[in-house]
Amino acid sequence: MRASDAALIEGILRRDEAALATLYDRYARMLSSTLNRILRDTQAAEEILQDIFFQLWRAPSQFDASRGTLPGWLLIIARNRAISRLRRHNPAAGEALFETTVVLPVNIESALAREQLLGRVKSAMEKLPVEQRATIELAYFEGLTHSEIARRTGDPLGTVKTRLRSAVETLRRDLQP
Amino acid sequence: MNGHPIRDEDFDLYALGALEDDEKRAIESHVAACSPCAGKLAEARGRVALLAFAAPVVDPSPRVKQRLLEQIRSASEDHPAERARGASERPGGFMGRWWTAALVPAGVVLALAAIFLWKEDARLGKELAAERAYIERMQKELDGVREVSALVQDKDTMTISLAPMPGMPQGTAHVFFNSQMGKLMCDGAIAPAPKNMTYQLWLVPKQGDPISAGFFDAATGEYSSWMATVPKGVAPMAFAVTIEPAGGMPHPTGPKVLVGRAS
């Protein structure tokens, strides 16, 4: 029977290595994919991946289940760390994320759920017009603001804002549970 | 921002990190005082987090997990207080002692396993090297077979049978010769040669000096077979085997043992 994330966090609080290993097996691939996409550097991605789980081991109580779901936290921390590294920002800025609240619209504790979500997100992204998809990828995977995207692409700021808002509207609709 | 954000997508844009500083501050100050919007922001963060699934799938190397587990073990050793805290948070002290008691022999087993794996790795390395050498040898043999096959099957290849000369050691040999390819194959056997002597095959051209074309296994008199490369385009008059000093000679010096005319 599959242990829930909450039960595994309890296990980590009891210093159970197997609980950490199970959570790693569950979410490492998801995080590794994100980190590699942002950094395009396998070694850097592996360092951050290891560090995220080590942080979870050292301070599991930082994760507060009442503030959201574990994979959501992990994804946000991974993205924040990777973008900080990419932009040479202070990685410590990511630590404050432990205090934010994240609610994933779906439960992805099972491998099947993660696979289904993978298909849904890829399908939703593929349905976006090319310009919208490129714009939202610049925002998500490179951490660029509207004005930074406009400078990067040479498109007018208003165009960038419209593309990003349209992409977000579409994804909100397509990724509804 | 005095009221709620005009549109719900603003929360997603905030979570995405696309807003400029002044826009971000406006949302942050509003959310701090508005729990419904704080809930919307939490949902937007989750929704935006799902975009991670748009990344190409990259499985982490197994070494990351291995390093992580080594790191947490090392950290526990460096901070016994943390380990003690962990133990005190367990349901019962007996369980803690039980685990400690189990981990010590487990460590010994792991050390032994490491030694075993190291030896196994060395053994497999040797086996792998042997397998590679075997494959290389087989490849050479295969190349040889292909070379022989090409020679024997070529329409321009002639076959010459060599017969023993009167009063000479008994033996027999066949030569497959292709002038255009500049190749020949000889197989045959001759009675053992005198000590420090060898049997040398010669291509005797219609014009020019004999050309050395290989040696028999002179010591045992056992069956010999070899391929030899000679200058292309040589018109053969005959093939002959002579007795020569061990190591061979650039030109024939000894008596003929076997001779075969090229027709």
Distance from CA of B3 to the nearest CA of A (A): 20
CATH at residue B198: 2.60.40
Provide the pLDDT for residue B172: 87
Range of the domain at B17: 9-54
Say yes or no for a CB contact (<8 Å) between A15 and B48. Answer: no
Say how far apart CA B170 and CA B56 lie, in whole Å: 76
The residue that leads in pLDDT, B166 or B33, is B166
- Contacts with A, B 83-102, CB within 8 Å: 83, 86-87, 89-91
- Which has the minimum average pLDDT: A19-28, A108-117, B113-122? B113-122
Same domain, B17 and B47: yes
Least Cα distance to B218 among B205, B239, B201, B237 occurs for B201
Look up residue B228 and give its two tokens: 């030899």
Within a domain: B17: yes
Say how far apart CA B80 and CA B94 lie, in whole Å: 18
**What are the backbone dihedrals phi and psi of residue B121, each rounded to the nearest 5 degrees, phi first?**
-60, -45
Structural domain ending residue among the three candidates B95, B129, B153: B153
Domains of chain A, first to last: 5-107 (1.10.1740.10), 113-174 (1.10.10.10)
The mean pLDDT value for B65-75 works out to: 92
Say how far apart CA B43 and CA B175 lie, in whole Å: 87
Which positions ≥6 away from A99 have C-beta within 8 Å? Answer: A67
Cross-chain CB nearest to B64 (options A46, A106, A140):
A46
Within a domain: B241: yes
Q: How many domains does chain B have?
A: 3
The residue that leads in pLDDT, B127 or A20, is A20
Least Cα distance to B16 among A80, A34, A69, A39 occurs for A80
Q: What are the tens digits of pLDDT across the range B163-215?
A: 999 998 888 899 999 999 999 999 888 888 888 888 999 999 999 999 999 88
Within a domain: B44: yes
Q: What are the tens digits of pLDDT across the range B34-48?
A: 888 888 888 899 999
Say how far apart CA A140 and CA A119 lie, in whole Å: 18
Same domain, B195 and B171: yes
**What are the backbone dihedrals phi and psi of residue B256, each rounded to the nearest 5 degrees, phi first?**
-80, 135
Q: What are the tens digits of pLDDT across the range A22-61?
A: 999 999 999 999 999 999 999 999 999 999 999 999 988 8
For strands B158-164 and B256-261, give the pairing.
antiparallel
The residue that leads in pLDDT, A69 or A164, is A164
